[in-house]
Amino acid sequence: MPGATATKTRIYLSPPHIGSEERRHVDAAFATNWISPAGPHLAALESEMCAASGVESAICLTSGTAALHLAVRLLRVRPGDEVFCSTFTFVASANPIVYQGASPVFIDAEPRSWNMDPELLTEALAERARRGRLPRAIIVADIYGQCAEWDEIQAAADAYGVPLIEDAAEAVGATYRGRWAGRFGCVGVYSFNGNKIMTTGGGGMLVSPDATVIERAHQLATQARDPAPHYEHSELGYNYRMSNVLAGIGRGQLQSLPARIVRRREIFECYRQALGDLPGVRFMPELADSRCTRWLTCLTIDPEIAGVSRGAVLAALAADDIEARPLWKPLHQQPLYQAAPVFGGALADRLFAQGLCLPSGSGMATEDLSRVVAAVRSVFPGA
């Protein structure tokens, strides 16, 4: 009917994209009564992930946050320690430092991948070395589906003998110089939260090149029970093991991950082609020798050039029932971490002030993409 407005459905930022294999594995878990945090899907998902990623050893956990907590615990982070951490990331990257009673020190990003700046990291390590107070560990996040400059970061950390934790929660399936995200630290972390590129509804994984580290993680994740016929405990553990039902979902998701990455990269290219001509608009860069999954399509809007603010674009999207978000608020700006030291910070501040993520779910229809593009363009004068 001309003039009638069709009912529009809400477009979400990054909803789960579930296929049919997931359901088959979940049904199998029910049929065999393996519904607790034990059962064949757990070992299967762990070995299938090792095969896909090239990691040596992996354990399924209840969340990426739990995996990060085990990571800092395994590296013996203790009260009084400092731990370096990316500032341009989600708060879950840093919280486990505080769970261990230690203090975060934040490091700014570089403009090439938006991840931790290796030069600033070197400066920060040199400064702490002069004061005789090196950090116990360094947590580097791979943001928005892209790996950090790992060769440079590894060299900086090696020069001072400080171990690296790779928070690859957002970068499952990304590669850097041919190697998967998650393979660059002593331990790596994946998240399978509902909005991530691969989901188990909620869940995560700790991976390591050292199988004994993962055995130790298994012990801690299952309440640190000592070998005995009764319940005997000599150290503090956690209840962090994933359910076998959710591991079944993960197995289905892992199979379709390559296709999901291809689709998210296509979505990014569509947006870039449709919006790249707008003044002051710049898309997230991609490192040479690196393949970003484009988990979320991210861009920045320089208001001086655009004549339009990021806020105005967000408002136009919200008015059309489209979910979009500013980029991460840097952790050094969070009220929770106001007192923490920070090296640099200006780039993360600018990304937060000007940046935005657009709906990027791999299940998005072409009409949805057009609707997002039209809403963004409507804000630009003469566009």
Give contact residues for ligand PLP (rule: CB under 6 A): 63-65, 89-90, 92-93, 141, 167, 169-170, 191, 193, 204
- Nearer to ligand PLP by Cβ, of 308 and 357: the residue is 357
Nearer to ligand PLP, 57 or 63 (CB): 63
Shortest separation between residue 328's beta carbon and ligand PLP, angstroms: 8
Judged by beta carbon, residue 165 or residue 275, the one nearer ligand PLP is 165
- For residues 205 and 211, is the Cβ–Cβ distance under 8 A? no
Degrees to nearest 5, angle at CA 356 with 355 and 362: 140
**DSSP letter assigned to residue 322:** B
Q: The tokens 């962090």 sit on which residue?
A: 240
Work out how close the CB of 306 gets to ligand PLP at its nearest, in angstroms, rounded to a whole number: 27
| 244-275 vs 366-377: helix crossing angle, rounded to 10 | 50
Report the nearest approach of ligand PLP to the CB of residue 86 (Å): 8
Give min distance, CB of 146 to ligand PLP, in A: 12
In angstroms, give the least distance from the CB of 296 to ligand PLP: 10
Residues 189 and 165: beta-carbon distance below 8 Å: yes
Instruction: Using the minimum distance from each CB to ligand PLP, give the nearer residue, 101 or 194.
Output: 194
In this structure, is the dihedral angle defined by the CA atoms of residues 28, 60, 235 and 92, taken in order, positive or negative?
negative
Tell me the closest approach of the beta carbon of residue 33 to ligand PLP, in angstroms: 27
Cβ distance to ligand PLP smaller for residue 98 or 373: 98
Locate the DSSP E strands across 238-360. Answer: 281-283, 290-291, 297-301, 325-326, 342-343, 355-358
Smaller CB separation from ligand PLP, 93 or 354:
93
Dihedral pair phi/psi, residue 147, rounded to 5°? -70, 150
Task: Report the residue closest to ligand PLP, judged by CB.
Answer: 64
